[in-house]
């Protein structure tokens, strides 16, 4: 099905590198591919096409002698910047897979690479298994590569890469899945092409059910080593589909919050914060649940250290109101209007986090009409929870330093008794 990779947006924005950053070998290859693409035109159209691509003029007779040499002669006379610009213009107008691939590789020079080691590990996931169960492997391959027009590996008697793959995977069956994927160029293709492939093999028309989810999780685990994640992008007809995105680097405050919470409680509280950060992009609903739980943990820990009691049934707003009395954070505890407003806003943030969790997190059944959380929702919830948790811990530490002596930390208590 040709729709496997189409319609899936890849959140992989990259700016074009300057010509000086492009290795000469890549420019040379781009000149060759652009000259080849130009030579696909009729000889009498080649001069006009070159003029339109801002290359030097010439006559039809020269083009009739050799279309490729006509184009190559003019391309070696212009700068790398102009070669890239001309290639982009032609690629925008016509389908030239290899030319588009070379441009994509140039665009990706400034981004983090997916290493050859990671690519080999990704290929290894398909050893002894098909690329898809719901459709034929060749159908999936055709949706991603124009194999009917690509050349087969040398030496080969077949006219096209499609003929080559058909002979060696269907008629003779003497190529392994690794051989197939390496022949398709998965070890050296652009990241954009690799990510299209990964989206296609984890699409519901390739695999379904537990097998689809398991494959997506394995791919995600491998990509994370190189700064990417295969994240849930949405659902189609009730089935999930995935897209590759850059792993979020987090907010500037992440390190500061981590340090504060690790010093306060390096096990449960800090672990909760770490899990929430890690799931912001890949599992927004789970991250929102963890954001609220983080604040609940901090409130319970401080209340316990202060000798106050709390009940298992206490939700986050109740816990926060109890803690606000201990730390004197209630707006009524202050006379300055600006402090009253700030502390009132803190209370609103806590209550809103509880409401956001109830609406968007994974703590409740989603139902047919419930809004689905996006990574930006999780980013907001986790960052707000982290900031509030840090503020509460810092305030408690200051209150302790103002007292006669610090209280010995203990496990949280419920109803005035230690929790087991």
Last residue of a domain, one of 93, 110, 127: 110
Percent of the chain with pLDDT over 90: 58
Residues 295-306: what's their mean pLDDT?
93
Domain ranges, residue 271: 254-418
Q: Does 379 reside within a domain?
A: yes
Apex 12 CA angle, 117 and 162, nearest 5: 65
Q: Tens digits of per-residue pLDDT, 54-75?
A: 999 888 899 999 999 999 999 9
pLDDT reported for residue 161: 96
Residues linked to residue 333 through DSSP beta bridges, in sequence order: none
pLDDT reported for residue 194: 98
Q: Does 12 reside within a domain?
A: no
Q: Could you tell me the two tokens for 340?
A: 């009253």
Q: Does 240 reside within a domain?
A: yes
Q: Give, rounded to a whole angstrom, the gap between the first and last alpha carbons of the chain.
A: 56
Angle between helices 191-201 and 209-223 (to 10 degrees): 160
Task: Report whether pLDDT(147) > 90.
Answer: yes
Task: Report whether pLDDT(8) > 50.
Answer: no
Task: Report whether pLDDT(379) > 80.
Answer: yes
* Cis before 155 (ω within 30): yes
Same domain, 280 and 382: yes
Last residue of a domain, one of 213, 246, 279: 246
Same domain, 171 and 196: yes
Same domain, 217 and 263: no
Same domain, 197 and 290: no
Q: Are 194 and 114 in contact (CB under 8 A)?
A: yes
Same domain, 217 and 281: no
pLDDT reported for residue 4: 38
Same domain, 143 and 54: no
pLDDT reported for residue 400: 85
3-state class (DSSP) for residue 229: strand
C-alpha to C-alpha distance for 47 and 74, rounded to whole angstroms: 11
pLDDT reported for residue 10: 40
Last residue of a domain, one of 110, 137, 154: 110
Same domain, 227 and 168: yes
The closest alpha carbon to 82, from 15, 24, 31, 26, belongs to: 31
Q: Does 2 reside within a domain?
A: no
Apex 339 CA angle, 338 and 344, nearest 5: 100
C-alpha to C-alpha distance for 141 and 5, rounded to whole angstroms: 10
Task: Report whether pLDDT(11) > 50.
Answer: no
Q: Does 1 reside within a domain?
A: no
Same domain, 195 and 322: no
Task: Report whether pLDDT(419) > 60.
Answer: no
Q: Does 14 reside within a domain?
A: no
Q: How many domains does the chain have?
A: 3
C-alpha to C-alpha distance for 112 and 374, rounded to whole angstroms: 24
Same domain, 211 and 231: yes
pLDDT reported for residue 197: 98
The residue behind tokens 């949706």 is 143
Q: Which residues contact 365 (CB under 8 A, 6 or more apart)?
A: none
Same domain, 197 and 306: no
C-alpha to C-alpha distance for 288 and 82, rounded to whole angstroms: 48
Q: Does 348 reside within a domain?
A: yes
The closest alpha carbon to 203, from 132, 126, 130, belongs to: 132
Same domain, 414 and 330: yes
Task: Report whether pLDDT(250) > 80.
Answer: no
Q: Does 3 reside within a domain?
A: no
C-alpha to C-alpha distance for 39 and 34, rounded to whole angstroms: 9
Q: Are 309 and 416 in contact (CB under 8 A)?
A: yes
C-alpha to C-alpha distance for 341 and 362, rounded to whole angstroms: 32
The closest alpha carbon to 362, from 377, 373, 376, belongs to: 373
Q: Tens digits of per-residue pLDDT, 94-117?
A: 999 999 999 999 999 988 899 999
Same domain, 106 and 121: no
DSSP state of 332: G
The closest alpha carbon to 90, from 53, 122, 126, belongs to: 53
* Cis before 357 (ω within 30): no
Q: Tens digits of per-residue pLDDT, 174-223?
A: 999 999 999 999 999 999 999 999 999 999 999 999 999 999 999 998 99
DSSP state of 414: E
Predicted TM-score (pTM) of this structure? 0.60
Residues linked to residue 294 through DSSP beta bridges, in sequence order: none
The residue behind tokens 């077949």 is 158
């Amino acid at each position: 099905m040709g729709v496997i990779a189409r319609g899936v947006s890849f959140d992989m924005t990259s700016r074009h590198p300057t010509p000086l950053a492009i290795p000469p070998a890549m420019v040379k290859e781009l000149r060759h591919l652009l000259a080849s693409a130009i030579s696909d035109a009729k000889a009498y159209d080649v001069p006009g096409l070159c003029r339109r691509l801002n290359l030097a003029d010439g006559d039809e007779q020269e083009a009739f002698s050799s279309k490729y040499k006509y184009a190559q002669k003019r391309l070696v006379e212009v700068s790398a910047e102009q070669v890239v610009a001309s290639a982009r213009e032609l690629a925008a107008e016509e389908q030239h897979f290899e030319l588009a691939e070379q441009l994509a590789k140039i665009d990706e020079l400034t981004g983090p690479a997916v290493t050859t080691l990671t690519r080999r590990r990704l290929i290894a996931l398909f050893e002894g298994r098909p690329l898809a169960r719901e459709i034929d492997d060749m159908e999936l391959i055709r949706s991603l590569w124009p194999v009917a027009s690509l050349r087969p590996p040398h030496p080969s008697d077949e006219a096209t890469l499609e003929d080559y793959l058909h002979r060696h995977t269907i008629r003779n069956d003497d190529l392994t899945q690794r051989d197939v994927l390496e022949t398709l160029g998965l070890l050296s293709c652009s990241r954009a092409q690799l990510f299209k492939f990964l989206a296609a093999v984890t699409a519901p028309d390739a695999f379904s059910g537990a097998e689809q989810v398991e494959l997506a999780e394995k791919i995600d685990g491998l990509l994370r080593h190189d700064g990417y994640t295969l994240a849930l992008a949405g659902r189609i007809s009730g089935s999930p589909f995935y897209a590759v995105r850059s792993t979020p680097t987090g907010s500037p405050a992440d390190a500061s919050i981590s340090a504060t919470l690790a010093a306060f409680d390096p096990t449960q509280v800090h672990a909760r914060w770490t899990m929430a950060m890690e799931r912001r992009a890949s599992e927004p609903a789970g991250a929102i649940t963890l954001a609220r739980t983080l604040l609940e943990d901090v409130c319970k820990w401080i209340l316990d250290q202060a000798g106050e009691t709390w009940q298992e049934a206490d939700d986050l707003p109740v816990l926060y109101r109890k803690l606000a009395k201990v730390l004197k954070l209630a707006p009524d505890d202050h006379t300055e209007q600006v402090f009253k407003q700030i502390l009132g806003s803190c209370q609103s943030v806590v209550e809103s986090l509880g409401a956001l969790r109830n609406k968007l997190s994974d703590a409740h059944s989603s139902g047919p009409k419930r809004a689905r959380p996006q990574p930006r929702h999780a980013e907001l919830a986790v960052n707000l929870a982290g900031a509030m948790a840090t503020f509460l811990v810092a305030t408690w530490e200051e209150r302790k330093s103002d007292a006669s002596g610090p209280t010995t930390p203990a496990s949280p208590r419920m109803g005035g008794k230690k929790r087991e």
